[in-house]
Amino acid sequence: MGFVRSTLAFPFYVLAFVFHLLTALFTVIAQKIAGEESGPPRRKKTVSHVIVAAFVIAAAPVLVSLNPPAMDVSRLAPQAAMDYRAVKAEFTPEQLAWIKPLIRLTACIFAENAIRHKLEPMPVSFSPCGGGAVHATLDDNLIDVVVSGIATAGAIERPFTVTLQHYPPSTNENGFITLSIQIDTNGNLVSDGAT
């Protein structure tokens, strides 16, 4: 959430910085018109340091937003299944109406990342999740998820199936673990599952 906040807040920081610089400029102009000295040379040096510091502070969110937190790739490799049967998600029926599609979409993106990780360094692309050739199915307990579709690796289309497990109360990618990955490579089904 901090990444999103800093990215959204950046234009406001820049705007505040511009207003601050305009205020300083108009103050200097007003002092010149009134015939007052703008201060000793030392003050000018201090003002320039303050302006540089303000610019650095305003630019910090940009630097943070350029380097988003990296995904833990160990979760993309198949792992042993967890027992989530006792964990219950406490969503209302109204919430479930939008949470289930969100979980399916997030599972689809997570599965695509698992396929990309499996086929590295080959560039891999996919159809849009849900609307194209990639589909996610979710059980009623919000635990078992199967994502299947077609990955385009290079110029070759490769059918795939990724089996995931979802921690029911979670609504983001941190709630998923990969159980198995199956990719069709040139007519041969390559399966990778947890041992």
Percentages helix, strand, coil for the chain, rounded to the nearest 5? Answer: 45, 25, 30
C-alpha angle with apex 100: 74 to 128, nearest 5 degrees?
70
| Contact yes or no for 144/81 (Cβ under 8 A) | no
| Contact yes or no for 168/141 (Cβ under 8 A) | yes
Considering its fold, how many domains does the chain have in total? 2
20-79 tens-digit pLDDT: 777 877 777 777 777 766 555 555 666 676 677 667 776 666 666 665 556 677 778 888
The verdict on 93 and 157 lying in the same domain is: yes
Residue range 108-135: average pLDDT?
A: 84
- Using the 3D structure, point to which of 40, 66, 92 is the last residue of a domain: 66
Which pLDDT belongs to residue 165? 92
Task: Determine the structural domain holding residue 16 and report its residue range.
Answer: 2-66
The verdict on 90 and 61 lying in the same domain is: no
Which pLDDT belongs to residue 1? 43
